[in-house]
Amino acid sequence: MAVQRTDAASWLHELVLVYALCWTISLGFVAGQTGQLNVDASPQNARKIPDKMFGIFFEEINHSGAGGLWAELVSNRGFEAGGPNTPSNIDPWLIIGNETSIIVGTDRTSCFVRNPVALRMEVLCDSKGTNVCPSGGVGVYNPGYWGMNIERRKVYKVALHIRSSDAVSLTVSLTSSDGLQKLASHTITASKKQFAKWTKIEFHLKSGQTNTNSRLQLTTSKSGVIWLDQVSVMPLDTYMGHGFRKDLASMLANLKPQFLKFPGGNYAMGNYLRNAFRWSETVGPWEERPGHFNDAWGYWTDDGLGFFEFLQLAEDLGASPVWVVNDGSSNLHGLLGASQNEEVSTATIASLVKDVVDGIEFARGGPKTTWGSVRAAMGHPQPFNLDYVSIGNQECWMLYYRGNYQKFYSAIKAAYPDINIVSSCDKSTISPSNPADLYDVHVYTSSSDMFSRTSMFDNTARSGPKAIVSEYAVTGNDAGKGTLVAALAEAAFLVGLERNSDVVEMASCAPLFVNDNDRRWSPDAIVFNSWQNYGCPNYWMLHFFKDSSGATFHPSSIQISSYNQLVASAITWQSSKDKSTCLKIKVVNFGNQAVNLSISVSGLDEGIKSSGSKKTVLTSSGPLDENSFQQPQRVAPVSSPVEKANEQMDVSVDPYSLTSFDLLLEPSKHSTI
């Protein structure tokens, strides 16, 4: 994501719109309109929409990955979040017992070179003698990311590294947040000096009960010194068995995304270059990954969700990976928007360029190549299908961007000529001397302006590189935490992208996820906590477009008097399940008037079946309505059969609504372009 700037005029505009919406709600919806929608479904005027038109953009923001999509339950599992200097802060780990029974700190004695900090527990009490440990023992506990969701009969894989010259009896437990309810436990025992060297211990815990606000405890009643490092708890039941939280990954899969852009915008660049996402430090065994501070959004990540995992997620979703690489600059902005970016000059950019080419080899190289062998050792000998690399995050205005970009472009094309390279510059700057396969567009604006941008690409030159609108979102007062009106404005924008899909290749919203305990940005498509989730209205809006990629676009036109709040599009698409073909007509009503619409379809090679069609509507009682954990389906699509569907239909379109008509076509020789 790019840093957003606003001015007084835009804030005033949004305030006026909110007052208008509130006035509409207080008075109710006004009398309806009558209009005509004509769809030209003739093959000669049809056009194929790009195969990868609609996808998703993942940024490590709002604890989207750490404490979210990545299913690791332990926060700061390697004790590195407090920095390299010891003793250090071990947050969110906390101590069980007081200073008379245990002293806990950190030192640099870990067996891992890249993450040397380890936890040291000096246990002063014992099970007998003058200083008896309290009941249950002393030690440390980790609450995870605002509580661990532990489910009855589910199995969790525990891994940790331990060292001690003393005899050990360490109980590892999953408990309630107060430690009183024990859900599962295992005791690690060892004789004196059995753990004199660092030893990895792995075992499974099966929970006997469910508790959505649990914690991990490591306790003992035996005196001595124990070192711990890289403590992990992962549910065995993850999406495709690859470590992704099943419910959240399934919500992504249900969108049928055709590409996955990662690891983010600001996150990829870092506020300071030292905190940028470095792909090579996020691959290999998880214990050996140093992790880094996500200074763009203010929290530590252990990088369990690394370069390999992003590529794996794209593969699991059937999506093409789009890798955002650091172009040699950071994205820190000071007070009043004053730029304080760090930037590597073109004269010294070569090492970063080589790093990106190495990253492509990691993804695409054979198992015997230098970096391909690292990927193979991680369990994926076959190359990933990495075909897109995006250079930077809207830094075209910076001093060295264009020079650096050309270095990246030349080196990547020399090694991998088929890779599509995305520029952060706009189309007007692209030329034979500054080439690009695609150019990146970000749109953050108010709902009314987003609605108007349905025509944003209408006058774009039809030749040259196409756009990837990789970040778009309604922001401001009427966006709330995800309102209906914001979703409708974005739907109108996407209708315009469908219409202009000859010059727009790909599109994705931003941000994708938010952990409700750490909102750094609103709105977001999917909201979650440790055990719940719901889709915001714009998430459900995306379902109306999930069949558009690779479909056939048909021109359409609307005639309606004195009402400019309606936009529409039409496609034909084929179901992958039963191979049936539907004509999908989408209508966005951004205004407060119901519309009686006469739909006329011409040019079909085959007829519309009288039965089997459906109407789906996304609306609510008010334009500012939102979903929540308490009302997750307050704004969600509702489907109903279309009776007597045919080429000429009279339909009703609700105020503030997105409506689709999936009209089932008769079996014939019909095929998409």
Q: Number of C-alpha atoms within 13 angstroms, CB side, residue 523?
A: 34
Tokens of 46: 């049809």
User: Beta partners for 560?
Assistant: 35
Cα distances (Å, whole numbers) of residue 364 to 240, 380, 413, 418, 664:
21, 11, 14, 12, 41
pLDDT at 11 (0 to 100): 44
Residue 506 CA to residue 278 CA, distance in Å, equals 26
Please tell me the number of Cα atoms within 13 Å of 668 on its side-chain side. Answer: 13
What gap in Å lies between CA 491 and CA 484, rounded to an integer? 10
Of residues 283 and 5, the one with the higher pLDDT is 283
Q: How many whole angstroms separate alpha carbon 226 and alpha carbon 122?
A: 7
Summarised one tens digit per residue, pLDDT across range 168-189 is: 999 999 999 999 999 999 999 9
Q: Which of these ranges, 70-79, 338-347, 537-546, has the smallest mean pLDDT?
A: 338-347
pLDDT digits (tens, 9 = 90+) for 77-117: 999 999 999 999 999 999 999 999 999 999 999 999 999 99
Report whether 302 contacts 77 (CB < 8 A): yes
For residue 392, what pLDDT band results from cuts at 50, 70 and 90? Answer: very high
- Nearest CA to 474 out of 452, 443, 500, 496 is that of 443
- Please answer whether residues 166 and 225 qualify as being in contact, where contact means their C-beta atoms are separated by less than 8 angstroms: yes
Cα-Cα-Cα-Cα torsion 107, 109, 111, 114, nearest 10 degrees, comes to 50
What pLDDT sits at residue 670? 43
pLDDT given at position 576: 85
* pLDDT (mean) for 138-164: 98
pLDDT, tens digit (0-9, with 9 covering 90-100), for 217-258: 999 999 999 999 999 999 999 999 999 999 999 999 999 999
**Confidence class for position 673, pLDDT limits 50, 70, 90:** very low
Rounded to an integer, what distance in angstroms lies between the CA atom of residue 360 and that of residue 354?
10
Asked if 468 and 423 count as a contact pair (C-beta separation under 8 A), the reply is no
Bond before 263 cis per omega within 30 degrees = yes
- pLDDT grade for 332, boundaries at 50, 70 and 90: low
**Once rounded to an integer, what is the mean pLDDT over residues 526-547?**
98
pLDDT attached to residue 25: 43
The CB-side HSE value for 383 (13 A sphere, CA atoms) comes to 16
E-strand ranges in 590-645 read: 593-602, 614-618, 638-641
Percentage helix, strand, coil, to 5, in the chain? 20, 35, 45
Among 138, 134, 108, which residue's Cα sits nearest to residue 123?
Answer: 138
DSSP letters, 112-125, are: -SSS--EEEEEE--
Confidence band (pLDDT; 50, 70, 90) for 340? low
Residue 412: pLDDT band (50, 70, 90) is very high
Residue 197 scores a pLDDT above 90:
yes
pLDDT at 484 over 50: yes
- Residues 561-591 have pLDDT tens digits of 999 999 999 999 999 888 899 999 999 999 9
Q: Quick check: 2 pLDDT over 80? A: no
- SS3 per residue for 519-537: CCCCCCCEEECCCCEEECH
pLDDT at position 12: 42
First-to-last C-alpha distance (Å) of the chain: 35
- CB 113: neighbour CB atoms within 10 A? 8
- Per DSSP, the residues of 391-446 read E-SS-TTSTTHHHHHHHHHHHHHHH-TT-EEEESS-GGG-BTTB--SEEEEEEEE-
> Whole-prediction pTM value?
0.94
Q: What's the DSSP call for residue 54?
A: B
Contacts of 524 (CB under 8 A, 6+ apart): 62, 481, 482, 511, 512, 513, 514, 536
Is the model's pLDDT at 66 over the cut of 50? yes
Q: Which of 261, 304, 245 shows the shortest CA–CA distance to 533?
A: 245
Contact 632, 653 (CB under 8 A): no
Q: What is the pLDDT of residue 10?
A: 44
**Domains in the chain with CATH codes:** 33-52+550-665 (2.60.40.1180), 55-71+238-543 (3.20.20.80), 94-235 (2.60.120.260)
